[in-house]
Structure 1
Amino acid sequence: MDKSWMTARKFSREYVQGVQSFMKFVDEHIGQEREIKCPCTFCLNSYIRSKEEVLDHLLIRGIDTEYTRWIHHGELFDYQVPRSDSDNGSVNEDDDHTNGVNDLLNDLGNFYENTRRFDKDHNTNESEESEDIPMTFLELLRKAEQELYPGCSKFSTLSFIVHLLHIKVYNKWSNKSFDMMLTLLKKALPHGETLPKSYYDAKKILNDLGLGYTAIHACKYDCALFWKEYENYQECPVCGTSRWKVSNAKRKQIPHKILRYFPLKPRLQRLFMSPKTAADMRWHSDKRINDEKELKHPADARTWKEFDQQHPYFSKDARNIRLALATDGFNPFGTMSNSYSMWPVIIIPYNLPPWKCMKKSYFMMSLLIPGPHQPGKDIDIYLQPLVDELKDLWNEGVQTYDAFSKKNFQMHAALLWTINDFPAYGCVSGWSTKGYMACLVCNKHTCSKGLRSKICYMGHRRYLPRGHKWRKNKIKFDGKEELNMAPKYFSGNDVSQQTMHLKGVKGGKHPSLKKKNKRDKQDLNWTKRSILFELHYWKTILLRHNLDVMHIEKNICDNILGTLLNMDKKTKDTYKARKDLEDMNIRKELHLKKRNDGRYVIPPAAYAMSKKEGQQFCEFVKAQKFSDGYASNIARCVNVFEAKLVGLKSHDCHVLLQRVLPYGIRGCLSKDIYAAILELGDFFRRLCCRKLMVEDVNKLEKDIIEILCKLEMIFPPAFFDVMVHLAMHLPREVMLGGPVQYRWMYPIERYLGTLKGYVRNKARPEGSIAEAYIVNV
């Protein structure tokens, strides 16, 4: 049927005639009395309406031009997959599952057919493997066409199995209960039913659909993987520990740890199977407005642009994929009483447009690192399969069918950077985030000072211009003039040279492998050489590891609230903090006063609220009204009587620091303290915008220097932990990596939160989460 009218101008004769032909097509294939899904530009097949309403919508609003295959209105797929009643527009809870299976089968069919055609065109002797792929697909197609039982019109075998697996995951059924349900259904359904006999047989179908993972055994002490040349080893090649928990021949052998690896290539290929998604994968090149003055996507940032200049072979094809790697530990049981740390490794494709870039549906879990303990610096052991595949994607690539251009191409992929919170930042990069050189950006030039019970990171005056008046001010800062200049930033080549001598260091937590606690001077704060340096291009990237804005903002907010409200165990204004002021011989009005009985009195500070002022502030916060789902947790965290806020989440601190805190403290504190906190909140508000002008980012880089210097004149040195110092580097990272929205942990933590609900077996939670992830892909 001719569909050229879909792109014609609205209200034109051609368009009106096309709409009429569309409605006639619907009558012929669905029937005249049914309600149907409306494909107008507003409804987008999401709402079911009468045919009269659909006709009005199409004439007034126009039809969705990307809806080229009318699957919701009776048009068949290229591969004749039968349509159920739910596909015709009736309200049925099975609708989403059935349509998803049909779409996936159709995309797989196009992919396999074009792959085999490509092989025939380029190979004189077609291999047996290329023949096996279509046979697997044809078996799936047979199950999609097969009735669940004779006379069943609502479900095919394939759609029912996928639907049943979804229910299993959402309701946390055990494998045994699923087998029992299948047995009961096979007895209840009429003779000739086509259900599988067990969960094992049902799960095979997911593997045929391209959804599955590889189980790789790991050493108990994280020394090595039983993979590649060590695949058949019974003992760890590093520490000699047995591979098995139970090695008795009479019982089933159970490995200590199982790494679940989800291959990356097939899922990257799947992005190009759908014409719509394939078009989005080149958005950064075809539809993005390349404005040098604005930052709205990672493609606008310096890291992306310089990477393209250094690797022109990779950048000449816009379909080559830029990736980010994110990882974080979480407790799948959702309770701190049961200590367990599991680490998913997530891959994020950046070719997509801004409104899809960080959507949960495009997150790809690549590794599921088992617990119960965090891998720490030995995470490189578990990253080996992923890095191996990334090297292959860079060097060789993988042949992929592009459904948008309907041609095959050789797809390559590159990892641009990692996104982690600060502890995981140290695990992945290999730089210890503790001690006097905790900041990787400053490297060996980190400005730190030892206090009575901790290390503070002050000295932000060195970032000021050389002749600035604050450089010579001793009294209001640390008692010294600041003569040093801002440190230089270390490139990837510099970091590679620093870690070259750590190349052969082995990992693992076996007691016999423990190293001496003291590091050599040449080690600086390096604990290892990151496995990511095995990627040929890694040292050429400007921004390799991202600082997480969300956790930096939360820690700064906690420091401010704890100190202003003088909260127990949260305030930075302690007895030892006042002793630090005495040691530095600054702010004598805040020094401890000795009483006649020998006890010390802590004089009140200008930055601390009284109990009454704290209660008034808490009442103000509790009285604020927020939209549902925006910051509803804040009111529950307020304790007015004790004047404190407890249990704040990251997003709560995000709202408090930027929107609430500056107004709540007005009138309680002096003007200079209020102004400094107001400027800090405004800094984060401007930094977290979806679009940023380059000149605004340059201004933010200058503003944060002055803001931190103002805070140094107000709060005690103990206030300035490493998280406060890291705010110094955020504007530079925005300039290098693009807006914060695409490089922060908030969407990733929400994604990890959804995984917690899939734990069924407390002994092996990784298996439950891996299974749930496969079913929901």
Structure 2
Amino acid sequence: MLYWKNDTDLDYCKFCAEVRYKSTRERNPNRKKTRYAILMYLAFTPHLQRLYAPKATTEQMMWHANHQTVEGSMCHSSDTEAWRHFYRIYPDFVVEPRIVRLSLCMDGFVPHGHYGCTYSCWLIILTPYYLPPRMCMSSKYMFLTMVILGPSNKKCLIDVYLKPLIDELQNLWYVDVLTYDNAKNKIFTIHGLLMWIVNDLPAYGMASGWSTISVIGCLTCMDDTRALYLQNGRKTCYFDCHRQFLHQDHLYRRNKKAFTNNRVERKVARLRLMGEQIHDWIVEFSPAVEILLALPPRYGSEHKWRKKNIFLEFEY
């Protein structure tokens, strides 16, 4: 519901037909309407087009394709295996090096402190990974896309608020957006894709649909986790779960003092599930809706999925 398209006079949502405003105005007609939820969304496609306007940033947007890669070292995201994997799946995009790869960062905080106030604020930030490391990690090129305000934590229902962002990402992938390249003095079609999501563990559980609470909180280890429950602290500890991912000759595997006492790590880590495998697993689960979700069958014993992953739906 966009206020600049004459939607302010509508009392019901034109998408879901639910009431938009609280009933407090009925008792006092002169009182201002109070919305149930507020979402501030800033489109990021114009920001990407604006990066190709000045010559200074236009030349830097091609840095990922022109810089010299040293074998065995990584100084930019273009040196990663995920970057090369995309070229193997979509070889047609190798010809056009101006396809923008994006990273999404989401986190929330309490703006009014922790003294009895439950008001929360969630920020969604997009970062283009075409610029050099000194530029793409600066605040100037981190695009604040969404501000989600509300009296309570959104938890798994944050998917409802991410819908405008997903629509724009799909539009940037499928639709040809005309952009002017100042360096080459011509118009080209810009495309973009979301490659990474950067967040902490609680936000990771909100975005993926896998609950990170309690022992089975790792989406990689799942029910084969090595997490420990601290009896005195009453919390789950993942202190010595990472040694299984090292190669068999690594010194840390035989270290009995710096990690768990008198234990040598001989376990081989399980392979990470691919997107197709996760999609087949949760295809029958319920997606995020505006009501409280019922937990799927065998939740807590075999898995920790609470909903269908929105980013997997976007991919497939």
Q: What TM-score does the superposition give when structure 1 sets the normalisation length?
A: 0.35
| Percent sequence identity over aligned pairs | 32
Closer/same/farther in 2, CA of residues 360 and 255 from structure 1, 3 Å limit: same
Check if 1:531 corresponds to 2:292: no
Q: Is the 8 A contact 1:498 1:523 kept in 2?
A: no
Is residue 300 of structure 1 aligned with residue 79 of structure 2?
A: yes
**What SS does structure 2 have at the residue aligned with 1:380?**
helix
What is the aligned counterpart of 2:278 among 464, 486, 495?
495
Q: Does 1:330 align with 2:113?
A: no
How big is the shift at 1:482? 6.3
Alpha carbons of 1:465 and 1:372: their partners in 2 closer, same or farther (altered >3 Å)? same
Tell whether the 8 Å contact from 1:215 to 1:259 is kept in structure 2 after alignment.
no
Residues 1:447 and 1:336: Cα distance change in structure 2 (over 3 Å):
same
Equivalent residues of 2:288, 2:308 under 8 A apart: no
Evaluate the alpha carbon distance shift between residue 454 and residue 312 of structure 1 in structure 2; reply closer, same or farther with a 3 A threshold.
same
- 1:16-52 Cα offsets, whole Å, 9 max, x none, are xxxxxxxxxxxxxxxxxxxxxxxxxxxxxxxxxxxxx
Do the aligned partners of residues 534 and 291 (structure 1) sit closer, same or farther apart at CA in structure 2, a change above 3 Å counting?
Answer: same
Q: CA deviation at 1:336?
A: 2.7
> Does the Cα contact within 8 Å between 1:377 and 1:430 map onto a contact in 2?
yes
The answer (yes or no) to whether the contact 2:104–2:196 under 8 Å persists in 1 is yes
1:259 paired residue number = 39
Pick one of 279, 297, 305 that aligns with 2:59.
279
Counterpart selection for 1:243 from 20, 29, 34: 20
Instruction: Give how far 1:407 is off.
Output: 0.5
Structure 2 unaligned spans of 5+: none
2:49 maps to which residue? 269
Q: Residues 332 and 462 (structure 1 numbering): CA distance in 2 closer, same or farther, change over 3 Å? A: closer
Determine the C-alpha separation between the residues in 1 that align with 2:311 and 2:295.
Answer: 25
| CA offsets 1:606-634 (integer angstroms, 9 cap, x no match) | xxxxxxxxxxxxxxxxxxxxxxxxxxxxx
Residues 480 and 467 of structure 1: CA distance in aligned 2, closer, same or farther (over 3 Å): same
Answer whether contact 1:466 1:485 (CA < 8 A) is retained.
no
Q: Contact (CA 8 Å) 2:178, 2:187: kept in 1 or not?
A: yes
Q: Which structure 2 residues correspond to residues 63-462 of structure 1 after superposition, within 5 A?
A: 234=12, 242-245=19-22, 246-248=24-26, 250-251=29-30, 252-286=32-66, 288-333=67-112, 335-337=113-115, 338-450=117-229, 452=231, 453-457=234-238, 458=240, 462=244
C-alpha distance in 1 between matches for 2:314 and 2:73: 30
Contiguous gaps of at least 5 residues in structure 1? 1-212, 217-226, 538-777
- Map residues 372-771 of structure 1 onto 2, 5 A cutoff: 372-450=151-229, 452=231, 453-457=234-238, 458=240, 462=244, 465=248, 484-502=267-285, 504-508=286-290, 510=291, 513=292, 515=294, 519-520=298-299, 524-536=303-315
In structure 2, distance between residues paired with 1:280 and 1:370: 35
Q: Residue 324 of structure 1: CA displacement?
A: 0.4
Q: CA deviation at 1:517?
A: 9.1
Counterparts of 1:442 and 1:407, CA distance in 2: 49
Aligned partners of 2:61, 2:250: CA distance in 1, in Å? Answer: 49
Pairwise CA distance, 1:395: 1.0
- Correspondence for 1:643: none
CA RMSD of aligned residues (A): 3.5
Quickly say closer, same or farther: Cα 1:454–1:263, change in 2 above 3 A. Answer: closer
Secondary structure at 1:329's aligned position in 2? strand
Call closer, same or farther: CA 1:460–1:272 in 2, change over 3 Å.
Answer: closer
Deviations 1:153-195 (A, max 9, x none): xxxxxxxxxxxxxxxxxxxxxxxxxxxxxxxxxxxxxxxxxxx
Question: Residues 351 and 258 from structure 1, CA distance in 2 versus in 1: closer, same or farther, beyond 3 angstroms?
Answer: same
Distance 1:430 1:490 in 2: 15
Q: Is the 8 A contact 1:431 1:440 kept in 2?
A: yes
Residue 450 of structure 1, CA deviation: 4.3
Structure having the larger proportion of residues in strand: 2
- Whether contact under 8 Å (1:278, 1:403) holds in the other structure is yes
Deviation at 1:381, TM superposition (A): 0.7
Instruction: Give 1:507's aligned amino acid.
Output: V
AA partner of residue 242 (structure 1):
V
SS of 2:220 mapped into structure 1: coil
CA distance in 1, matches of 2:63, 2:153: 38
The verdict on how the C-alpha distance between 1:427 and 1:408 changes in structure 2, with shifts beyond 3 A counting, is same
SS at match of 1:254: coil
Cα shift at 1:297? 0.5
Per-residue deviation, 1:241: 6.0
User: Relative to 1, partners in 2 of residues 1:406 and 1:487: Cα closer, same or farther, differing over 3 Å?
Assistant: same
1:326 CA displacement: 0.5
- Relative to its length, the structure with more helix (as a share) is 1
Tell me, what secondary structure is at the counterpart of 1:401? strand
1:73-121 CA distances to partner (integer Å, 9 max, x unpaired)? xxxxxxxxxxxxxxxxxxxxxxxxxxxxxxxxxxxxxxxxxxxxxxxxx
Given that 1:322 and 1:413 are in contact with CA atoms closer than 8 Å, whether structure 2 keeps it comes out as yes
Q: Relative to 1, partners in 2 of residues 1:293 and 1:455: Cα closer, same or farther, differing over 3 Å?
A: closer
Distance 1:522 1:396 in 2: 43
Q: CA deviation at 1:411?
A: 0.3
CA distance in 1, matches of 2:289, 2:298: 15
Structure 2 CA distance for aligned equivalents of residues 460 and 327 of structure 1? 25
For residues 171 and 302 of structure 2, the distance between their equivalents in structure 1, rounded to whole angstroms, comes to 31
Q: 2:102 and 2:250 mapped to 1: Cα distance?
A: 43
Distance 1:468 1:266 in 2: 50
Give the partner amino acid of 1:448: A
- Kindly state the Cα deviation for residue 468 of structure 1 after the two structures are TM-superposed: 9.3
CA deviation after TM superposition for structure 1 residue 433, in Å? 1.1
Question: How far apart in 1 are the matches of 2:170 and 2:106?
Answer: 19
Secondary structure of the residue that 2:47 maps to in structure 1?
helix
* Residues 451 and 343 of structure 1: CA distance in aligned 2, closer, same or farther (over 3 Å): closer
How far apart are residue 506 of structure 1 and its match? 3.9
Cα deviations by residue, 1:194-223 (Å, 9 ceiling, x for unpaired): xxxxxxxxxxxxxxxxxxx9559xxxxxxx
Which string of whole-angstrom CA distances, capped at 9 and with x for unpartnered residues, describes residues 726-776 of structure 1?
xxxxxxxxxxxxxxxxxxxxxxxxxxxxxxxxxxxxxxxxxxxxxxxxxxx
Letter in 2 for 1:243: R
Give, in whole Å, the separation in 1 of the partners of 2:13 and 2:49. Answer: 37
User: Structure 2-normalised TM-score?
Assistant: 0.82
Deviation at 1:486, TM superposition (A): 2.3
Name the count of aligned residue pairs: 302
1:662-700 residue CA offsets vs partner (Å, 9 max, x unmatched)? xxxxxxxxxxxxxxxxxxxxxxxxxxxxxxxxxxxxxxx
CA contact (8 A) 2:109 2:121 kept: yes
Using the alignment, how far apart are the partners of 1:470 and 1:292 within structure 2?
27
* Separation (CA, whole Å) in 2 of partners of 1:381 and 1:361: 28
Q: Does the 8 A contact of 2:156 with 2:288 survive in 1?
A: no
Change (3 A) 1:317 1:448: same
